[in-house]
Structure 1
Amino acid sequence: MTLVDALGREHLPVPPGEARIVSLVPSITELLCDLGLAASLAGRTGFCIHPAETVRSIPKIGGTKDVNIDKIRKLAPTHLVVNIDENERPTVEALAEFIPHVIVTHPLAPRDNLGLYRLLGGIFGAQEKAEALCAAFEQEYALLQATPKGPPQVMLYCIWQDPWMTVSRDTYIARMMEEIGWQCWALAGSGAGLRYPEFRWSDDVVRAIDGVLLSSEPYRFTEAHVDALERQVGKPVRLLDGEMMSWYGSRAVAGLRYLRGLLTSDG
């Protein structure tokens, strides 16, 4: 199997125990741990919080965008795992000057997780656990596909306020929504080309949507925000678990189960 990352770069398998990995992606840190590779993790971001007991002993090296380059250098990693959406290109380029192998990820749809499992499992000698994850994913995906869907709806998925921000249709979140018949509302005009654009509430926006989805991350929307926004826009507003909607990697298996729960709770 050829091991090719999101930039089309081929990677070679690493002999067991020889990798020292720094992960700048919370969901991939969790995936690496679930692949049995926690002992190979030399560093992680402060946002890499799962699995809590396991990551507690892994050194923090800053955030996903404001990493401590000197601290990473001292950890002497052999591999860096990054994501196109979550990490800044100048930071990755600076780290690539002294980290031999940079693995770039960019899953855009739920089924992209299968390739992600096999890529990391193949590089780091965890093929068996990667295939087990693939099987678990396929099982949950089949159950989701068999669950009756309601009528299609246009939903505005909010990830931030002050300023208000949403997601474009070319994102993992939007593709997760599509699995249960929710089309992501798309910004027109200025900002339409951005993956995570700002928007302003208007009568036109409210008329174009069937409802609003407030994510629990990165902004910590709560039920209080749900109540206030329902009064403001006069459309149904729902609080969703942001990790289940946006974390690819091993959490995607639970994410598919979460989507199925949204369908059955609406039934």
Structure 2
Amino acid sequence: MSVFIDQMGRPVEFTTTPRRIVSLVPSITELLHSLQLDDQVTGITKFCIHPNNWFREKTRVGGTKAIKAGVIEELQPDLIIANKEENVQEQVEELAQHYPVWVTDVNTLADALQMIEQIGAITNTLPAATQLTSKIKTAFSQLNNNNRPIKTGYLIWRNPYMTIGNDTFIHDMLGRCGFKNIFAHTKRYPAIDTWQLAQCDVLLLSSEPYPFQQKHLDELQAELPNTRILLVDGEMFSWYGSRLLHAPAYFTSLLQSIL
């Protein structure tokens, strides 16, 4: 019997190393693939688009906020990985009545690195997980962010426009790039008005969860003629698994296009 404390402070018991894993978190699904757990992962969500072969071949257990309990029951998992923010609390608590559920809570790079190594320990892939976190740390240490913080807005939703507060993973990523979040005085994901964006020098429109496109950029540019507006890859700012290995290079390229 092994007991691991998840990122919510809950003890989760395992009698053996998990061999039937269901992931309810897209970025963690990609992490499990990086840890070479192909045979062990049996279920994923419809939003777990990476890697593509898993998206096509693995059993889908619904969406991140609309989990199909019946499908999960058929899979009989001995580990379900969930996330405080991405999954619905009531659904996760119900699953925890029947299966070992490991709940993650990732709001900073440090949280992400801890999560990766904890999952490595649970799945008996700790050497690979530790090697991955070491590479991620090195990549971020070499990130040459701007010494003069750029006043920045980051939009994740439209109708209404929504941004990110100081207690989000995206906020932490922005800071590491040298972007100064103009909504750092807020929490989580507040709705805002367009006029509030006039104070930013750069406005980033994310590809997810709302898929901002050029037409949306053009619409905002007409209202904010003095603001530099760019479409950005939301996965690089919000996915906290193995994709973090590639984020610093993306951030460097983005900064070079702005400065």
Same fold (TM over 0.5): yes
- Confirm or deny: 8 A CA contact 1:14 1:125 kept in the other structure: no
TM-fit CA distance, 1:115: 0.9
Secondary structure class of the residue paired with 1:39: coil
Gaps of 5+ in 1: none
TM-fit CA distance, 1:187: 7.7
Structure 1 residue aligned with 2:82: 82
Distance in 2, matches of 1:161 and 1:150, equals 31
Query: Which of the two has greater strand per residue?
Result: 2
Secondary structure class of the residue paired with 1:27: helix
Point out the more displaced range, 44-53 or 227-236: 227-236
Structure 2 residue aligned with 1:221: 212
Distance in 1, matches of 2:101 and 2:124, equals 17
1:167 and 2:160 correspond: no
Distance in 1, matches of 2:202 and 2:145, equals 20
- Confirm or deny: 8 A CA contact 1:187 1:197 kept in the other structure: no
1:239 and 2:231 correspond: yes
What pairs up with 1:141-152 in 2 under 5 angstroms?
A: 141-144=140-143, 147-152=144-149
Gaps of 5+ in 2: none
**TM-score normalised by the chain length of structure 2:** 0.92
1:208 and 2:199 correspond: yes
- How many residues in Structure 1 have an aligned counterpart in Structure 2? 257
Structure 1's 240 and 150: CA in aligned 2 closer, same or farther, altered over 3 A? farther
Structure 1 residue aligned with 2:112: 113
Secondary structure class of the residue paired with 1:22: strand
Distance in 2, matches of 1:206 and 1:248, equals 27
- Confirm or deny: 8 A CA contact 1:160 1:218 kept in the other structure: yes
Partner AA of 1:233 in structure 2: L
Partner AA of 2:110 in structure 1: R
User: Among the aligned pairs, what percent are the same residue?
Assistant: 36
Pairing partner for 1:179 from 160, 176, 181: 176
**TM-score normalised by the chain length of structure 1:** 0.89
Partner AA of 1:70 in structure 2: G
Please give the root-mean-square deviation of Cα atoms over the aligned residues, in Å: 2.0
Structure 1's 60 and 113: CA in aligned 2 closer, same or farther, altered over 3 A? same
What pairs up with 1:1-267 in 2 under 5 angstroms?
A: 3-11=4-12, 15-16=16-17, 18-99=18-99, 101-144=100-143, 147-186=144-183, 192-193=186-187, 195-202=188-195, 205-234=196-225, 235-267=227-259
Distance in 2, matches of 1:84 and 1:119, equals 16
TM-fit CA distance, 1:258: 1.2
